[in-house]
Structure 1
Amino acid sequence: MIKGLDGFVRQLKDASRAFESLKGEIAPVSVVPGDQASVQAAIEQIEAAIDQRAAPYRGNPFVDPVVKAFKEKYREHIIERGREQE
């Protein structure tokens, strides 16, 4: 039982470090309103930056859903920026 508890505590500590690494600005990306290529490039850039920061914690059951949610949040934000008029 202690071994299981140790693993759980390690996962929580790793999750805390992962969440700390995802705080603040993830990566600067440019979006040109109305330009789908720039929107897609920005989405790919932000997802790659999120993956890079979270890579050491991949497979952690606490981190993976948060990474997925972060990607979706940023994707939606970038798509919205791409719809804005200049």
Structure 2
Amino acid sequence: MATLSDEMTRILEEAAEGLKALEDEVITAGFDPDDPASVDAAIRHIDDTIDAKVARFRGNRLVEEAADAIKAECRANILLQATVRDTDRGTRTLH
């Protein structure tokens, strides 16, 4: 029978692996900043990419919270690019 300490060790080891997977992921999304559908598609692409990367860590709250934070950061970056008028709009590494 696993002890509480064993369970915590397993959770933390799994979290470390999941966080490393997120850290190593490079996500790029191209979109037309003037087309709301394209912006929405880029956000969905980011969410889907991150969800796929952490799928095996479902249930690990540390990994899920980190994934949600990264998705929010990427979403904010996309929306910022859609509103800022400069030469780098529409394509950028987001994470």
TM-score where L is the length of structure 2:
0.80
Give the aligned residue type for 1:5.
S
- Could you say if the C-alpha distance between residues 32 and 25 of structure 1 is closer, same or farther in structure 2, counting changes exceeding 3 Å? farther
Q: What SS does the aligned partner of 2:3 have? A: helix
Q: Is the counterpart of residue 45 in structure 1 residue 69 in structure 2?
A: no
In 2: Cα distance, 1:38 partner to 1:83 partner: 13
Please tell me the residue identity of whatever aligns with 1:34: D
For structure 1, the 5+ residue unaligned runs are: none
Q: d(CA) in 2 for partners of 1:45 and 1:60?
A: 22
Distance 1:23 1:60 in 2: 16
Given the two structures, how large is their TM-score scaled by the length of structure 1? 0.88
Secondary structure in 2 matching 1:45 = helix
Secondary structure of the structure 2 residue equivalent to 1:29: strand
Q: For 1:47-70, what per-residue CA distance to the aligned partner results, in whole angstroms no more than 9, with x for missing partners?
A: 000001111111112111111111
1:34, 1:84 within 8 Å by CA — same for their partners in 2?
no
Counterpart of 2:66 in structure 1 is 66
Cα distance change of structure 1 residues 78 and 16 upon mapping to structure 2, 3 Å threshold: same
Matched residues in 2 for 1:80 and 1:53: separation?
24
Query: 1:25: how far off?
Result: 4.3
What RMSD over aligned residues (CA atoms) do the two structures have, in Å?
1.5
**CA-to-aligned-CA distance 1:14-51 (integer Å, 9 cap, x gap):** 11111111114433211212211111000000000000
Q: Alignment length, in residue pairs?
A: 85
User: Structure 2: any 5+ residue segments left out of the alignment?
Assistant: 87-95
